[in-house]
Amino acid sequence: MTSARRVGVAVDFSSCSIKALQWTVDNVVKEGDHLVLIVVRHASNYEHGEMQLWETTGSPLIPLSEFSEPAVMKKYEFNPDPNVIDIVQTAARQKNIMVIMKIYWGDAREKLCEAIDQVPLDYLTLGNRGLGPLQRVIMGSVSNYVVNNATCPVTVVKS
């Protein structure tokens, strides 16, 4: 018997990341896998308390049962999207998978690559924002950076 795969999905709760999550649940996740939602928040979103301890390593792994508990999520100053909770609860029930979340603070490009090695992940899916060529030059493409620097297979789901 093989060990469970750790399948990651970068989730920022935009429509393209929710589409990437749904695509991953429909096409990649198999029974017994661990689905890891990787959330990267801007570094300015934390200023005090426990979150400063997690700046380097990210939050502890947060199980699905705690996603919708306001007291737990308040500790992270975070409120997950109900659509995401619905998708992962349905997947956990139907596919018999474990769903966990890990929150990082900082630059999404760097933190997603760090998550691949720290969790560690066997696979990562992320959505793309559909930036034009000029916007990609100015803002940088998270998906392009991750595809070129990740140490595991990466799929980019177009919006």
DSSP assignments along 69-118, one per residue: -HHHHHHTT----HHHHHHHHHHHHHHT-EEEEEEEES-HHHHHHHHHHH
Which one-letter DSSP state was computed for residue 153? -
Burial class (CB in 10 A: 0-12, 13-18, 19+), 15: exposed
Yes or no: say if 22 and 95 are a contact pair by the CB < 8 Å rule: no
Look at residue 139 in the predicted model and tell me its pLDDT: 43
To which residue do tokens 């469970």 refer?
Answer: 4
| Beta-bridge partners for 103 | 39
pLDDT at residue 13 greater than cutoff 70 = yes
Yes or no: say if 15 and 159 are a contact pair by the CB < 8 Å rule: yes
User: Judging by DSSP bridges, how do beta strands 6-10 and 34-41 pair with one another?
Assistant: parallel
**Closest by CA position to 47, among listed 107, 105, 118:** 105
For the chain, give every domain's residue range. 6-157
Q: What is the pLDDT of residues 59-109, one digit of tens each?
A: 889 999 888 788 877 777 777 888 999 999 999 999 999 999 999 988 899
The superfamily in CATH containing domain 6-157 is HUPs (3.40.50.620)
Q: What is the pLDDT of residues 101-151, one digit of tens each?
A: 999 988 899 999 999 999 999 999 999 875 555 444 444 588 889 999 999
